[in-house]
Amino acid sequence: MSRILLRGGRLIDPAREIDETCDLLVAQGSVEAVERPGRLGLVEDATVIDAGGCWVVPGLVDPHVHLRDPGFPEKETIATGLRAAAAGGFTAVAAMANTSPVNDSPEVTRYMLEHAASVHAARLVPVSAVTRGLGGRETVDFAAMVAAGAQLFSDDGIPIDDQAVLASAMEQIGRLGFAISLHEEDRTLTANGAVNAGEVSKQLGVAGVPARAETERIRRDLALAIGAGAPVHIAHVSTALSLDLIRAARRRGAQLTCEATPHHFALDDRAVLRWGPNAKMAPPLRSARDVEAVVAAMADGTINMIATDHAPHDPHSKRMERLAGWFSPTSDCGRLPEGDGEALTRAANGVVGLETALGLALELVHRSVIGPARMVEMMSLRSAQLLRMEGGTLEEGARADITLIDPNMEWTVDPAKFISKSRNSPFAGRRLKGRAIVTIVAGNVVYDGRSGART
Ligand SMILES: [Zn+2]
């Protein structure tokens, strides 16, 4: 294993409150030395990477992705998903359990880890289902899943409706030292909604998903979390009131973390008028006021981490053959004919995000909403802590999972160039400033975009 010298980069390591120009030497898969420029002396046999003008940060960790493998290779595979992750600057991603078969048994967890091990890209962190088959009734064998390698538990995609099942799961998972991640949705309130309830759902003439479908379920589950005294994580928070409830529950002692996705902090529901099914997900894009609240909560520390909720889908699942003609990136569409409203309602939820998340987070940095250290904290340190994994820091001796970011490289999002197998992005054509240019996992370069070919 060769040595790598990252020379002259801006090292940002929020765990140690370091933000200064340094040389960093990687050897034997670990961070061997971090020194002021020039202090390392002559480093023989090392591959030198000029990090001047770039940020050297602990590898980005995404606590919420869907890799569709096993089960849906036309959407994504473990190999394509982990390569897309590396290209986006991620050194580890937590793969949700709604595969086919569901990851509710050690066999599926082992399948995921074995396939990931043969891919030269980001690490895969398995997320175990909470209930068998995501059915919401019978819990999985939590200890067996941990023994197989699971590091987080979630039925993501589907809420756990039964309070007794959820309360018991919280306690058992907490006792094992892990967290449970909750997809918060009251499906009696979601009803058959396609997009956020508001002006946009009215304009399209489709049923809307009210904000309270999320907030009422969060209200219920935060009470359970306080009762259980166990670590609980709220996935993809999307409304202002949800954030107020989270703040209040923390004051009452809940062990609570939460995440925001790039689409929920970078887009409001008007994006649906342009992108149609490629801007449809659960929870849906919300009002401009909610987006403002999410951004403010990222700045004030209420939101702990950024998660992509990378959800690849093929055009058929998105009903594109029927709907593509209606939506246009340049003009808002109007009311949908009845059958097309139905198609939008039936279109699969979710957008891809691994290759755009960093550029979108950097928009907040360039707008001075958050500082670089806060961004790195939300995209690396806190997610690593949630997943109970080593990472999130570049102290000497740490595992050499490192992301090199050029914060000023300008590029245009072109889904045709994604490494992911899917193209369902509402960010096509968006100009972004900054991207990962080198991604290192265990001391090996797994992505090198320095040629600038992928702009
Ligand atoms: Zn979800």
- Is 95:311 a contact under the CB 8 Å cutoff? no
Determine the pLDDT at residue 452. Answer: 58
pLDDT of amino acid 35? 96
Res 333: pLDDT: 82
Catalytic residue numbers read 309
Distance CA 292, CA 276 (A): 22
pLDDT at 453: 46
134 near 98, Cβ under 8 Å? yes
CB atoms within 10 A of CB 221: 25
Distances (CA, A) of 383 to 138, 348, 354, 370: 28, 27, 15, 17
| 281 Cα–ligand 1 center, Å | 9
Question: pLDDT tens for residues 173-218?
Answer: 999 999 999 999 999 999 889 999 999 999 999 999 999 999 999 9
Closest-CA residue to 65 (of 91, 95, 86, 89): 95
Q: What pLDDT was estimated at residue 307?
A: 98
Please state, in angstroms and rounded to a whole number, the distance separating the CA atoms of residues 173 and 193: 32
Cβ(21)–Cβ(31) below 8 Å: no
Residue type, 345: T
By C-alpha distance, which of 291, 320, 285, 289 is closest to 209?
285
User: Is it true that the peptide bond before 70 is cis, omega within 30 degrees of 0?
Assistant: yes
Q: Could you report the per-residue pLDDT of 373-391, keeping only the tens digit for each?
A: 999 999 999 999 999 999 9
Spacing, Cα 282 to ligand 1 middle (Å): 6
User: pLDDT, tens digit, for every residue of 333-344?
Assistant: 888 888 899 999
CB 323 within 8 A of CB 277: yes
CB 152, CB 94: distance < 8 Å: yes
Listed in sequence order, the DSSP H helices in 252-393 are 262-266, 271-275, 288-300, 320-323, 338-346, 357-366, 372-376, 382-386
C-alpha 132 to ligand 1 mean position (Å): 17
Which of 3, 31, 15 is closest to 399 using CA atoms?
Answer: 31
Say which residues have a Cβ less than 8 Å from residue 164's Cβ, sequence separation at least 6: none
- DSSP character at residue 236: S
Q: How far is the CA of 183 from the centre of ligand 1 (A)?
A: 5
Q: Which residue has the tokens 């933000």?
A: 19
d(CA 45, CA 275): 50
Confidence of residue 332 (pLDDT cuts 50, 70, 90): confident
**412 Cα–ligand 1 center, Å:** 27
H or E element in which residue 153 lies: strand 152-154
**pLDDT value at position 101?**
98
- pLDDT for the residue numbered 1: 62
Rounded distance, CA 277 to CA 351, Å? Answer: 9
Mean pLDDT of the chain: 96
Nearest to 272 by CA among 342, 203, 191, 359: 203
CA 155/CA 129 separation, integer angstroms? 5
pLDDT digits (tens, 9 = 90+) for 127-165: 999 999 999 999 999 999 999 999 999 999 999 999 999
Query: Which H or E run includes 179?
Result: none
Is 24 a residue whose pLDDT tops 80? yes
Distance of CA 200 from the midpoint of ligand 1 (Å): 22
Task: Quickly list DSSP for 84-129.
Answer: HHHHTTEEEEEEPS-SSS-S-SHHHHHHHHHHHHTSSSSEEEEEE-
Question: Measured in angstroms, how far is the CA atom of residue 27 from the centroid of ligand 1?
Answer: 38
Q: pLDDT, tens digit, for every residue of 102-122?
A: 999 999 999 999 999 999 999
pLDDT in tens, 73-107: 999 999 999 999 999 999 999 999 999 999 999 99
Per-residue pLDDT tens digits for 248-291: 999 999 999 999 999 999 999 999 999 999 999 999 999 999 99
Report helix, strand or coil for 389: coil
Q: What does the pLDDT read at residue 158?
A: 97
Lowest mean pLDDT among 74-83, 86-95, 355-364, 444-453: 444-453
Instruction: Look at the pTM and tell me if it is higher than 0.95.
Output: yes
DSSP state of 64: E
- Cα–Cα distance between 138 and 121 in angstroms, integer? 35
Helix, strand, coil tally for the chain in percent (to 5): 35, 25, 45
**Cis, peptide link before residue 37, omega less than 30° from 0:** no
Q: Helix H segments across 76-233? A: 78-87, 106-117, 142-148, 163-175, 187-190, 199-204, 212-228
Integer Cα distance of 13 and 328 in angstroms: 42
44 band by pLDDT with thresholds 50, 70 and 90: confident
Whether residue 11 is predicted with pLDDT greater than 90 in this model: the reply is yes
Mean pLDDT of 385-410: 98
Listed residue (155, 427, 176, 72) closest to 279, CA to CA: 427
- In this predicted structure, what is the pLDDT of residue 194? 92
Q: Which two tokens stand for residue 79?
A: 């190999």
State both tokens at 146.
Answer: 């941990």
Question: In this structure, what token pair is assigned to residue 135?
Answer: 């059915």
Q: What is the pLDDT of residue 455?
A: 40
pLDDT at 335: 87
Structure tokens at 392: 């999130």
